[in-house]
Structure 1
Amino acid sequence: MENQKPYRSKRKDIPAGHHPNEVYVLRDWKEYIGESLLIVFSVLLALGVTEVINYFHERSERHEMLVNIKDELIKNRHNTKLQYAYQTKVLATIDSALKDKRFQQEIVNDDHFFVNKIAPEGIMYKDLDDVAWQVAKSHNIASKVSINTMTMFSDIYDNQARIVKLEDEAAHVLLAPESRNPANAHLTLTILRDEYKGWSYERTPSLIKKYDEAIKLLEDNL
């Protein structure tokens, strides 16, 4: 062993051949349990804070969606009432035309059906919006309101969609080649009158009542 080199420490403050003393801190089980409980408490606190934040966020989001729906329903109720008055006049004009051959000749002539003669502001007088409703559905409004409220909203907007469909249904009648034939004027006007009544006019009074109920419910709960 004469050729063995003595141990030299890399630390300058420790002489060669000497090993530094290593100190181990011994902790009892109480300290380990204390640290574990502290970690658990921190996790639970973080989860609790997250839940509270999510709760207030969802509550705010729900309130905003319902306010937007209420405002939309108020606007649609107003427009529906205006449209109902307008369509009352349109139907009265159609009834007059059905009894007057000369009036029918004014409406249908020269290969044209002059719809402005009976509906000067167009088939639909006012638009019925559903933007707030579509946004609410995309944000899962069904999970934020009662099933009765959801059913009420769905019913209202479904009836709106049927009323709006009048424009497309009337277009099918008025754009058909047969409607440009003066000999078919009476039949075309009869079909158009039935379209107005079936899709829109006769549905409107009950829809206005549903608007009133929904708006009152929202005003009482917001």
Structure 2
Amino acid sequence: MSPCDAPMRVPIYGVTAPQPWCWALQVRNAPVLNLHRAPPADVLGAYVAVCAAAEYVPELKDWMASWHGPGVSAPPADELPTCAVVAVARVSAVSLWPDGERQSRWYVGPAGLWLEDVVALPEPVACEPGPADVLWEVPAPVLARVRLALGAVVGEGKARWAAYEALAARSGGREPASLRERVLRMCGCRRALTKCSTCRTWHCTAPGCPPHTCATGVSP
């Protein structure tokens, strides 16, 4: 199961963060979500739906922009959603103060969920936020909408990658498909190059490619 497919098949827990911290997680400025309680032992590797709390905390915005904070300018309250799931992410590590090995200005403890593979949803999914200090179960109707939105993002990513590979193949930039292609020197037209017996340079004999002019036959 690839990392892209994983969130579509495994449980997704809910986590709540106040704005603008939730925004910082969504745009990958903040690598960690702080909790007041230690999460379950099996949370490592799990996926979480990041839900914006009902409140916007101006003090967080001030701290983010301060010299002793991360130095990030967060959007104002009227530009950020509340009571909605805005992203899905994977829990890559858990820190428990004071024994946490990871260091960041964003980590204030006592427990920290370090998030990776953050996928911002195209549109916020309305949801009543759960408790801010624990993981919580996302209501089934909300979870269905989250998975649907997440699937759309993942599908678009796969489509872009497939289009890129197709373009690379048409442009001669694809990986050799066979041992013969790996051994032979290939022209951009996909025909094998031929070495000139006189000047020993490689050239293409295809009618549509420029004719080879032997360097030894050119007068100074």
| TM-score (norm. length: structure 1) | 0.27
Comparing both chains, which one has the higher relative contact order based on Cα–Cα distances under 8 Å and sequence gaps of 6 or more?
1
| TM-score (norm. length: structure 2) | 0.27
Larger strand proportion of the pair: 2
